[in-house]
Amino acid sequence: MAEEIVGLRATTEGALKFVLCVETDPENSPHIGSWSREGHAAAITSPVFWHLLILQDDLSQGYLIARDLCAEGKGVFLKRIAVLSKVGGLGRQAISQFIQSLSPLGPSRIWLAVDVENARAQRTYRALGFEEMAGLEVAVDGFPDHSFLMVKHLERLS
């Protein structure tokens, strides 16, 4: 059996129905924030956000939103990732590919907030080299409970 190829592609207005379905999926919604269709549409056209579809063998399987904070010296913030399938490493592969795509930008780090109840995501992020930022617990938009920050320091290319 051939290995399935994971890719990333800019989200289009036509894909927002899919994005909203993934976001409101009962396995995803307790662990991620949610935006209106208009909020997603604004991120798609924003120069500081990456709003990307996660593809597996050219089929949409999830999405990823990140924000470029390099100009502020804060690196890249991985705002949200949501996938349909929680098995097989799809999210992990998508994050790895996204991090590789950042090389030309040269961020010093990528960071994220993770729901304290989402053990699966925490394991994924740790496996990718993210570490908890000790002592920082934050309330993340859309979450009634707390999340904590994780960071992955990136090597700058000369």
- Inform me whether the pLDDT recorded for 3 exceeds 50: yes
pLDDT in tens, 94-120: 999 999 999 888 899 999 999 888 999
Please tell me the predicted confidence (pLDDT) of residue 72: 84
- Residue 147 in any domain: the answer is yes
pLDDT in tens, 75-88: 899 999 999 988 88
- Inform me whether the pLDDT recorded for 1 exceeds 80: no
Structural domain containing residue 86: 6-153
- Residue 67 in any domain: the answer is yes
- Inform me whether the pLDDT recorded for 2 exceeds 50: no
Domain count, the chain: 1
**DSSP character string of the chain:** -PPPPEEEEE--GGGHHHHHHHHHSTTTTTTS----HHHHHHHHH-TTEEEEEEEETTEEEEEEEEEE-GGGT--EEEEEEEES--SSSHHHHHHHHHHHHTTTT--SEEEEEEETT-HHHHHHHHHTT-EEEEEEEEEPTT-SSEEEEEEEE-PPP-
- Residue 145 in any domain: the answer is yes
- Inform me whether the pLDDT recorded for 24 exceeds 80: yes
Please tell me the predicted confidence (pLDDT) of residue 105: 84
User: What CATH number did the domain enclosing 43 receive?
Assistant: 3.40.630.30
- Residue 108 in any domain: the answer is yes
| Band (157; pLDDT cuts 50, 70, 90) | very low
- Residue 11 in any domain: the answer is yes
- Inform me whether the pLDDT recorded for 53 exceeds 60: yes
- Residue 1 in any domain: the answer is no
Please tell me the predicted confidence (pLDDT) of residue 145: 56
- Residue 70 in any domain: the answer is yes
- Residue 158 in any domain: the answer is no
| Band (33; pLDDT cuts 50, 70, 90) | confident
